[in-house]
A and B are shown apart, each in its own frame.
Chain A
């Protein structure tokens, strides 16, 4: 990739950015879990981390993967080995903002709410928080290099099954 191409690639429009996230959230909201890892590069970092850990510099996450393979394993576990009550989950974001650019990548911040509905139950907020992402700008489009979701709602109402 020459410098000119890289420079051109490094400026996704806000529409392109929104399209990327809308597609990501649509995939998750539709529970197409096996497609979730496809939004990440091989050498990626995914974290859902309680705010208290994040601010104290503790590394423990509620959900974590430090390779695309681990995200594939998470998807497999959800689909084939975990036992949980059926549920729907919708993820809403706002305040999408590019916070930095560097060498074929952009950093993006957004505020997030995930709403969970158990069968026969009312819809309830599962988590709220902020995501700090690093997106790699490739020739085929945007991919997550990092997605760090810092959750204010540290006390989880029982289980967090699906990724955010």
Chain B
């Protein structure tokens, strides 16, 4: 295709998504600039991961390695993990605790907030050599990101001209966010890491798509985690970039309102299957509200999911146009007793690379990428469930939030 020719980009309302946005390498590089390094808050971790002054963690935001650290005064900082001198990745460990950061190559030394504070032989040796007199350490620190800590989670942006996180996600999503992140002190349960061979946007689409949940994930309906009489909600922010899917399950013993007709008609549904150990899906209510599932997708970097007593942040790290890392950070609360900790670990069996439901998603995303790649320039996806509308819904037969995300994406990419 002629590089100068405008790409086919239908209106999002048309419910048509061109496949080249999942395969085009130049578009991917443009996304890094406009989306990942643009005015977006990116998930960078949890405050409890950098608990003390001197604590740090490393992560990757967009394609750039980043250090998140806590300074002596307790404030959290984020800066690129790349020495101002020769570009060496300074921190190699995932987590650690230091007095300051020192580049292994020429020992340039940085404070906990990323400021350059030491250059060996800056004045030369016995008056010879060294850095020029006008070299200004203040202007040569590690490149800083803007940071906001919000009820236990750390958000960072390469853009310094950012609205507050709450403004960024809007009041509807904020309500969902602050239900899980209420400010109550968190505890890390552990990590799972998965390399998914598909474009990163397919992951966000997947969690904005309530239509697939009961169809792809036979586990849900089979073992009672999806019921036709459950209440569903699909909510978006005004821009369409962010969304939240929630479900409220009726009490276990309540008779389904319209019989089990929908569940039993689902492909793969086997009424004879029962769990041998139902602790796998037995939850206790711990958050406000009656939601049993809450799946927030905060564009572009993270999915915040609560189901049963599993709570997790799934950080998206794009690796190339057809590959991304999905890093699951599972967490609970600081005051969890042993029983609750064991319950969270059990419920985590649903998620991650071996998850009873998540593994389905990783597999189907790979199959999607494989399916669309050969003819990506000439074909497009049909995303018309729920018509052309981009608005909230109280049912599952809609792809409204996918259209919403691409309305926003198109604005960002063509502005």
A: residues with CB less than 8 A from B are 48-50, 52-53, 56, 58-70, 72-74, 76-77, 80-85, 154-161
**Cβ of B172 < 8 Å from any Cβ of A?**
no
B: residues with CB less than 8 A from A are 94, 188-197, 216-219, 222-223, 268, 270, 273, 275-277, 279-280, 325, 330, 341-342, 345-346, 348-349, 352-354, 356, 359-360, 362-364, 366-367
In the docked arrangement, what's the CA distance between A76 and B213, Å?
19
Chain B nearest CB from A42 CB (Å) reads 10
In the docked arrangement, what's the CA distance between A160 and B367, Å?
16
Residue of B nearest to A153 (CB): B193
Q: Evaluate contact between B353 and A62: CB separation under 8 angstroms.
A: yes
Q: Evaluate contact between B348 and A64: CB separation under 8 angstroms.
A: yes
In the docked arrangement, what's the CA distance between A64 and B366, Å?
25
Known: A53-B191, A62-B192, A155-B325. A160 touches B354 (CB 8 A): yes
Q: Looking at the complex, which one of A72, A80, A154 makes contact with B276 (CB distance below 8 Å)?
A: A72
Q: Evaluate contact between A82 and B359: CB separation under 8 angstroms.
A: yes
Q: Evaluate contact between B349 and A63: CB separation under 8 angstroms.
A: yes
Q: Evaluate contact between B191 and A52: CB separation under 8 angstroms.
A: yes
Q: Evaluate contact between A59 and B194: CB separation under 8 angstroms.
A: no
Q: Evaluate contact between B356 and A156: CB separation under 8 angstroms.
A: no
User: Interface centre among A52, A61, A65, by most B CB within 10 Å?
Assistant: A61
Number of inter-chain CB pairs below 8 Å = 133
Known: A58-B191, A160-B353. A64 touches B216 (CB 8 A): no
Residue of A nearest to B95 (CB): A56
Q: Secondary structure of the A side of the interface?
A: mixed
Residues of A within 8 A of B218 (CB): 80-83
Q: Evaluate contact between A82 and B356: CB separation under 8 angstroms.
A: yes
Q: Looking at the complex, which one of B94, B325, B356 makes contact with A52 (CB distance below 8 Å)?
A: B94
Known: A50-B190, A52-B191, A59-B345. A81 touches B268 (CB 8 A): yes
Q: Evaluate contact between B270 and A84: CB separation under 8 angstroms.
A: no
In the docked arrangement, what's the CA distance between A91 and B352, Å?
21
Q: Evaluate contact between A60 and B192: CB separation under 8 angstroms.
A: yes
Q: Evaluate contact between B362 and A159: CB separation under 8 angstroms.
A: yes
Residues of B within 8 A of A53 (CB): 190-191
In the docked arrangement, what's the CA distance between A82 and B94, Å?
32
In the docked arrangement, what's the CA distance between A85 and B3, Å?
36
Known: A60-B348, A80-B270, A83-B363. A70 touches B280 (CB 8 A): yes
In the docked arrangement, what's the CA distance between A59 and B336, Å?
13
Residue of A nearest to B275 (CB): A73
Q: Looking at the complex, which one of B94, B346, B360 makes contact with A83 (CB distance below 8 Å)?
A: B360
Residue of A nearest to B312 (CB): A60
Residues of B within 8 A of A82 (CB): 218-219, 356, 359-360
Known: A77-B219, A84-B363. A155 touches B189 (CB 8 A): no
Chain B nearest CB from A40 CB (Å) reads 12
Q: Evaluate contact between B277 and A69: CB separation under 8 angstroms.
A: yes
Residues of B within 8 A of A80 (CB): 218, 222, 268, 270, 273
Residues of A within 8 A of B366 (CB): 85, 158
Chain B nearest CB from A124 CB (Å) reads 11
Q: Looking at the complex, which one of A69, A77, A156 makes contact with B353 (CB distance below 8 Å)?
A: A156
In the docked arrangement, what's the CA distance between A50 and B330, Å?
13
Residue of A nearest to B331 (CB): A60
Given A52-B191, A161-B354, A161-B359, 10 other A-B contacts at CB below 8 A? A58-B191, A61-B190, A63-B349, A64-B348, A66-B342, A69-B277, A77-B219, A83-B218, A83-B364, A159-B353
Q: Looking at the complex, which one of A56, A61, A62, A158 makes contact with B362 (CB distance below 8 Å)?
A: A158
Known: A63-B354, A80-B222, A83-B218. A50 touches B359 (CB 8 A): no
Residue of B nearest to A37 (CB): B276
Q: Looking at the complex, which one of B193, B270, B349, B362 makes contact with A154 (CB distance below 8 Å)?
A: B193
Chain A nearest CB from B51 CB (Å) reads 13
Chain A nearest CB from B330 CB (Å) reads 5
